[in-house]
Amino acid sequence: MLTQKTGLDFKGQNIFVGIDVHLKSWTVTILTDSLMHKTFTQPACAETLCNYLHRNFPQADYHSVYEAGYSGFWTHYQLKSMGINNMVTNPADVPTSQKEQLQKDDPTDSRKLARSLRAGELTAIYVPAQSTLEDRSLVRIRATMVKDMVRFKQRIKSFLYFYGIPFPPQFEKSGSHWSKRFMKWLGEEVSL
């Protein structure tokens, strides 16, 4: 007795996905080795894309790409964790025709990315490990906060000088500014 197989099976086939990433939505183009499947817009969610690929191209080898930009690497980490072989590329390294330069829109960009990925024309940029990126962010945020604190202190000093409020002698030494005692003096004695 012969039975008809009704399920799709893309085992051993490559699916190429170009993603034009934005804050609230992604424009996605999906290509097979020989055909263009479609271009569509979806919410900015890796899980939505992954579910679509698994539903329409079960057991295929998924390859995706998006351009490096403001959004960082969270998309890359999520796609990789869901089994999609993702790469992040430098926007300047994506081959672009003159027509594509003149007709710049999201569907064109995602098609260009998918086509270049399928052709093997893209080079991935270095994506640091998530822990390394978190450490770098922590150091950068701390440096920013230190700069902000220096600015705030300068503004307070300028405010005091502007109104002719002298520092008490015990706080004249530069090392004693911004101590607990100084902050207490500032809060109690200076009220304008």
Q: Residue 78's CB: how many other CB atoms inside 10 A?
A: 16
- The verdict on residue 4 lying in a domain is no
Provide the pLDDT for residue 99. Answer: 80
Q: What is the pTM of this model?
A: 0.76
In Å, what is the CA distance from 74 to each residue of 105, 119, 130?
23, 25, 9
From 127, 142, 158, give the residue that closes a domain.
127
The Cα–Cα gap between 72 and 81 comes to 16
Strand partners, 41: 27
Task: Kindly state whether residues 86 and 43 are assigned to the same domain.
Answer: yes
Provide the pLDDT for residue 5. Answer: 52
- The verdict on residue 61 lying in a domain is yes
85, 17 in Cβ contact below 8 A? no
Provide the pLDDT for residue 6. Answer: 57
Task: Kindly state whether residues 153 and 71 are assigned to the same domain.
Answer: no
The Cα–Cα gap between 96 and 109 comes to 9
Any idea of the CA torsion for 136, 23, 89, 61, to the nearest 10 degrees? Answer: 110
The Cα–Cα gap between 107 and 112 comes to 8
Provide the pLDDT for residue 62. Answer: 97
Strand partners, 61: 14
Task: Kindly state whether residues 29 and 62 are assigned to the same domain.
Answer: yes
The Cα–Cα gap between 113 and 92 comes to 12
Task: Kindly state whether residues 118 and 150 are assigned to the same domain.
Answer: no
18, 111 in Cβ contact below 8 A? yes
Task: Kindly state whether residues 115 and 61 are assigned to the same domain.
Answer: yes
Task: Kindly state whether residues 39 and 65 are assigned to the same domain.
Answer: yes
Provide the pLDDT for residue 159. Answer: 87
- The verdict on residue 3 lying in a domain is no
Q: How many residues does the chain have?
A: 192
Task: Kindly state whether residues 96 and 123 are assigned to the same domain.
Answer: yes
- The verdict on residue 8 lying in a domain is no
Task: Kindly state whether residues 141 and 114 are assigned to the same domain.
Answer: no
Task: Kindly state whether residues 143 and 80 are assigned to the same domain.
Answer: no
From 127, 157, 180, give the residue that closes a domain.
127
- The verdict on residue 69 lying in a domain is yes
Question: What's the domain range around 69?
Answer: 14-127
From 127, 148, 177, give the residue that closes a domain.
127
Q: Which tokens go with 29?
A: 């183009």
Task: Kindly state whether residues 95 and 154 are assigned to the same domain.
Answer: no
Strand-strand pairing, 36-43 and 61-67: unpaired
Backbone angles phi, psi at 146, to 5 degrees: -60, -45
CATH of the domain at 55: 3.30.420.140
Provide the pLDDT for residue 174. Answer: 63
DSSP 14: E
Task: Kindly state whether residues 106 and 26 are assigned to the same domain.
Answer: yes
Strand partners, 43: 25
Task: Kindly state whether residues 23 and 63 are assigned to the same domain.
Answer: yes
Write out the chain's pLDDT in tens, 192 residues.
Answer: 444 455 778 888 999 999 999 999 999 999 999 999 999 999 999 999 999 999 999 999 999 999 999 888 999 999 999 999 999 999 999 988 888 777 888 999 999 999 999 999 999 999 999 999 899 999 999 999 999 999 998 898 888 889 888 878 887 776 667 888 888 888 887 665
- Number of folded domains in the chain? 2
